[in-house]
Amino acid sequence: MEKKQGFFSALKEEVVRGLSPSRSRSKSPARSASPISGLLRRKKNPYALTANPEPLVGRSGSLRPVVGETLTPLMEGPDPDGGEGVGGESRRMGSGIGQWMKGQLSRTPSVSNSSLGYNSNNKRSDLRLLLGVMGAPLSPVHVTSLDPLPHLSIKDTPIETSSAQYILQQYIAASGGQKLQNSIKNAYAMGKVRMVASEFETATKVVKNRNGSKGTELGNFVLWQMNPDMWYVELAVGGSKVRAGCNGKLVWRHTPWLGAHTAKGPVRPLRRALQGLDPRTTASIFVDARCIGEKKINGEDCFILKLCADPHTLKARSEGPAEIIRHVLFGYFSQKTGLLVHMEDSHLTRIQSNGGDAVYWETTINSFLDDYRPVEGILIAHSGRSVVTLFRFGEVAMSHTKTKMEEAWTIEEVAFNVQGLSVDCFIPPADLRSGSISETCELPQDERVKSAIVLAAAYRAKVAALEKSHESFTENIL
């Protein structure tokens, strides 16, 4: 407990002093340090830290320090690299995540030595697939925190829509109430993840991961959110790191294999935040949903709400030869507690390469939410797991492939209304490309389709740069 107290107080102190996630993105991601490492970096004198009253910050579990109490110094382990860090800074870090992050971020982006069982020569691509699909997926539709939630309306409203509104009203009340949720201006969450590619299936055989725990990739993530519609997430697993963010106007992403780029389509919330961390945004997502029935989830009766992405959003997210045909989101709300206990979304993509048959990819993510605990009156799911299925079909009959991946997560810390957090924390990277890339690039496609998508994005970036140069030239003449 005392380790967490010291870590969180230090994190708050560093945020107020300005060491926000924006610091790491002021330079190229290849040379910049992680925002987490900046926030976790400790002073050389660990005995000078004392707790101050923090009346405006809500914290998860037992993370609230006693006012006026001097905290015990954090235990700091040995530095495996020895000596000091870059520029003479001490590289020692407090708490378990600090030790883990120091070891992970000091390495060059690579994959771990674990094998996923079915192809030991593709360990790097396996980890890339895990991070690309499960690292930072987005919700199907655009919502904004500025829009008020609708009032329950029964008159002149279809029964499926009015039932969904009633279920959402129960969910808002069960998760803390609308008034309390509207008082949240920003939020922070940190947790651990465990990822594994558990199964690979073809038309003739099914190969499961036989390495057990050796094939599992462990990691951590940190998530920041701020109204209106700003968020930043960083996920480090197996020596590789995925970063994504939104400044309210555009969504960007940085991966070791694609670099920094903007995401296709409208601004959308991060799906990881909908997994029990942001009840208000979750309710906003299902505002236009319909109630389609009931189902038992883990022995618990649940209402089912269904939401479909509109054709305009699907067209905006499509990229070159890759066309997203549909994206459907299902929310399962407990009839007993009113809380969201299960979420499933599935989107179907058609890839039509020149001179070849169309290939279809169906990506399905099933997430189970558990361990709801109150944080300053708001119920937050502190653990859960997701099962992802990638189903490929269409070229030749009986030539389908199916890849199954799993992720389990636990939430270590949660905080609301963190003082010192500003819009500067959500500035996109300085070397952000002007061309956008679809999430289809993360699918394991053949090199021909990959090249077509990348060339299409590069062409649009070049056209945008020429148009901008032409506009500037015209303005100078005028």
- Residue 332 is predicted with a pLDDT of 98
- Residue 159 is predicted with a pLDDT of 87
Q: Is 168 helix (H, G, I), strand (E, B) or coil?
A: helix
Spatial distance between the Cα atoms of 325 and 340, rounded to a whole number of angstroms: 27
> What is the DSSP secondary-structure string of 223-276?
EEEETTTEEEEEEEETTEEEEEEEESS-EEEEETTTEEEEESSS---BHHHHTT
Q: Which band of pLDDT confidence, cut at 50, 70 and 90, is reported for residue 455? A: very low
End-to-end CA distance of the chain: 65
Cα 249 from chain centroid (whole Å): 17
| Predicted confidence (pLDDT) per residue in 351-373, tens digit | 887 777 889 999 999 999 999 99
- Report in angstroms the alpha-carbon separations of 53 from 50, 70, 188, 366: 10, 12, 19, 41
Spatial distance between the Cα atoms of 333 and 139, rounded to a whole number of angstroms: 18
Domain 121-144+151-426 sits in CATH 2.50.20.10 = yes
Query: Which DSSP helix (H) or strand (E) runs through 36?
Result: helix 35-40
Judged by phi (left if over 0) then psi (alpha if -120 to 50, else beta), residue 68 lies in left
- Report in angstroms the alpha-carbon separations of 242 from 35, 188, 216: 12, 18, 17
State the angle between helix axes of 96-105 and 2-17 in degrees (0 to 180), rounded to the nearest 10.
Answer: 60
**Best CA proximity match to 143, nearest among 271, 330, 53, 38:** 271
**Best CA proximity match to 328, nearest among 345, 316, 315, 342:** 345
Residue 200 contacts residue 126 (beta carbons within 8 Å): no
Average pLDDT of every residue of the chain: 75
| Predicted confidence (pLDDT) per residue in 170-224, tens digit | 999 999 999 999 999 999 999 999 999 888 888 788 887 755 556 788 999 999 9
Judged by phi (left if over 0) then psi (alpha if -120 to 50, else beta), residue 351 lies in beta
Cα 98 from chain centroid (whole Å): 20
Spatial distance between the Cα atoms of 34 and 40, rounded to a whole number of angstroms: 10
Mean pLDDT of 54-75: 44
Residue 261 contacts residue 453 (beta carbons within 8 Å): no
- Report in angstroms the alpha-carbon separations of 171 from 175, 352, 462: 6, 42, 47
- Residue 47 is predicted with a pLDDT of 40
**In the numeric block, which tokens belong to residue 300?**
């618990």
| Predicted confidence (pLDDT) per residue in 95-121, tens digit | 444 444 444 444 433 333 333 333 444
Beta partners for residue 247, in sequence order: 230
The pTM (predicted TM-score) of the whole model is 0.71
Q: Which band of pLDDT confidence, cut at 50, 70 and 90, is reported for residue 283? A: very high
